[in-house]
Amino acid sequence: MAKLIVRNSGPLHGEVKISGSKNAVLPILAATLLTEDECIIQDAPALRDVEVMNQLLMSLGAKVESDLENNIVKVKAEGEISCEAPFELVKMMRASILVLGALLLRSGRALIHLPGGCAIGERPIELHLKGLRALGAEINEQSLAKGIVDAKADKLTGSTIYLDFPSVGATEVIIMAATLAEGTTVLENAAQEPEIVDLANYLNKMGARIKGAGTDTVKIEGVDKLHGVDHHVIPDRIEAGTFMVSAAITKGRVLVKNMLPDHLKAVIAKLRECGVVIENTDEGVIVDGSQNTIVSTDIKTLPYPGFPTDMQSPFMALLTVAKGPSVVMETVFENRFMHVAEFNRMGANIRTEGKCAIIPGGRQLHGAPVIATDLRAGASVVLTGLVADGTTEVSQIYHIDRGYEHFVEKLKALGADIERIDD
C-alpha cells in the first residue's frame, strides 16, 4: 500500500493553483447521460473519483475520452444506455448514486446498489427517493431492503418537493431528473452549495430551464431535449481551504490562485479570527500565518453557506497548535471525528463528547504512524505532520487520491518535506 512520509517543514511559501472541483465535476459528468450529444468537460481534476465516474459512464454505454493530464473529459452517451450500474464501481464511490435520475429518464429504469465512499457516517438516500417518487417513479421496496435501488418510470412529471434536510446529493439528483420531466418542479429547502449552482449552469447551457440554484427554492421547467455543451468546472473550494490552512498552520505565506473567495466566506472568517492575515489580490488570495500568534476559535459545521463539514478536520489540525482551547461541533455527519484518534497519536490530546470535540490547543505535536481515515482526514494528518517533531507516516492514502489532485507535488512546491512511497 502507498504511504506518505511527512516531516516538520517550517513555513510554507510560494503559490499554488487550485484544481477543478471534485464535488462539482461528478454530478456534471453524471448529467452528460441526459443528452445523446457530445459534452466536453474542462478543468476536470485528475482524481480517482473522476476515473471511477468515467468507468461508470462507460459501463452504462457512454463513450468517454478522458485526458485527465490536460483536465478534459469528453462524453457521448449516444444510443441505448444500460439501466444497471455495476456494483464493483458503485461500491467505490458515493457519487455513483448521481446517475439515478438520468438513468430513469434514458432507460425508464435505474438499478443501483447503495453506494460506498468515505465512512464518515450514515448518508441515506431517502430524500433522493422521496423526490423521485414525487416525480412519478416507482421504487421496489423489497429490493431496497436488500440494499438495491430499483426504480421505474414510464415518464416523470413535475411536482412540488420539500426536502427535510438540504441534502446536496438529493438536490442534484432531483434537479437532473426534473430537467426532462413534464411540467414544472419546485424544490424547496434545497441545498445551496456552489457545486449545485455549477450543475444548474451546466444544465442551462444544455437547454434546461432552471432558476433559483444557490437559494433554498429551485424551480425547474421541464424541456423536451437537452444538447451537448463545452463547460469549465468551478475551482475546488475545499482544496483551496486546505491550502489556506497549510499556510496558517506552518506560519507561512502562500498565494492561493484560481479560488473563489465568496465560496469560502465562513472559512476565511474563522481563519481571520485565528489571527491569519488574508488579502484578496488580482492574482489570487494571499494567506499569511506569520504576522500574528495563531489563537483558538470555535466552529460549528452547517450546510452551505455555513462552515463546511469537509473543512472540519483540516481546520481542527490548525486548532491543535493554536493558542488556547477550541470547540468543534459537527452537525452534518455523526461519524466525522475518526481523525481525532490520529491527531491524539501525535499528541493533540483532543476529547470528544457527542457532536463536540474539545481541543486544548497549543500542543507541540510529534510524528507518528497515522491513518487517512477518510478523504479530508487524510489531508488533515498531512497538515499536522508538517508541524510535528520528527516523521509522520500516513497510510491508506488512497482516500487522499480520491479528492486532491497532485497533492504531494503542490505541497513540495511550497517547501513541504513530504514524499510518497508506492509499495
Q: Is the pLDDT of residue 123 over 70?
A: no
Q: Averaged over 116-122, what is the pLDDT?
A: 44
Q: Averaged over 388-406, what is the pLDDT?
A: 96
Catalytic positions: 118
Domain parsing of the chain, residue ranges: 3-15+236-421, 23-232
Please report, to the nearest 10 degrees, the dihedral formed by the alpha carbons of residues 236, 237, 243, 246 taken in order: -140
The neighbouring-strand residues paired with 162 are 188
| Average pLDDT value over all residues in the chain | 95
When comparing pLDDT for 119 and 282, which is higher?
282
Strands, E assignment, 9-167: 13-17, 38-42, 63-67, 72-76, 109-113, 138-139, 148-152, 160-162
Q: Averaged over 122-129, what is the pLDDT?
A: 78
Domains 3-15+236-421 and 23-232 share a fold: yes
Confidence of residue 95 (pLDDT cuts 50, 70, 90): confident
Q: Which CATH number fits domain 23-232: 2.60.40.10, 1.10.10.10, 3.65.10.10, 3.40.30.10?
A: 3.65.10.10
The predicted structure's pLDDT at residue 145: 86
Q: pLDDT tens-digit profile of 136-176? A: 999 999 998 888 899 999 999 999 999 999 999 999 999 99
Cβ-based neighbour number of residue 291 at 10 Å? 10
Q: Give one DSSP letter per residue of 167-215, joined into a string.
A: -HHHHHHHHHHHHTSBSEEEEES----HHHHHHHHHHHHTT-EEE-BTB
Q: Averaged over 89-97, what is the pLDDT?
A: 86
Confidence of residue 94 (pLDDT cuts 50, 70, 90): confident
In degrees and rounded to multiples of 5, residue 400 shows phi and psi of -65, -40
pTM of the shown model: 0.95
Q: pLDDT tens-digit profile of 209-223? A: 999 999 999 999 999
Q: Averaged over 279-308, what is the pLDDT?
A: 97
Q: Averaged over 79-101, what is the pLDDT?
A: 90
Q: Is the pLDDT of residue 125 over 80?
A: yes
| CATH C-level class of 3-15+236-421 | alpha beta
Q: Averaged over 28-41, what is the pLDDT?
A: 98
Q: pLDDT tens-digit profile of 41-57? A: 999 999 999 999 999 99
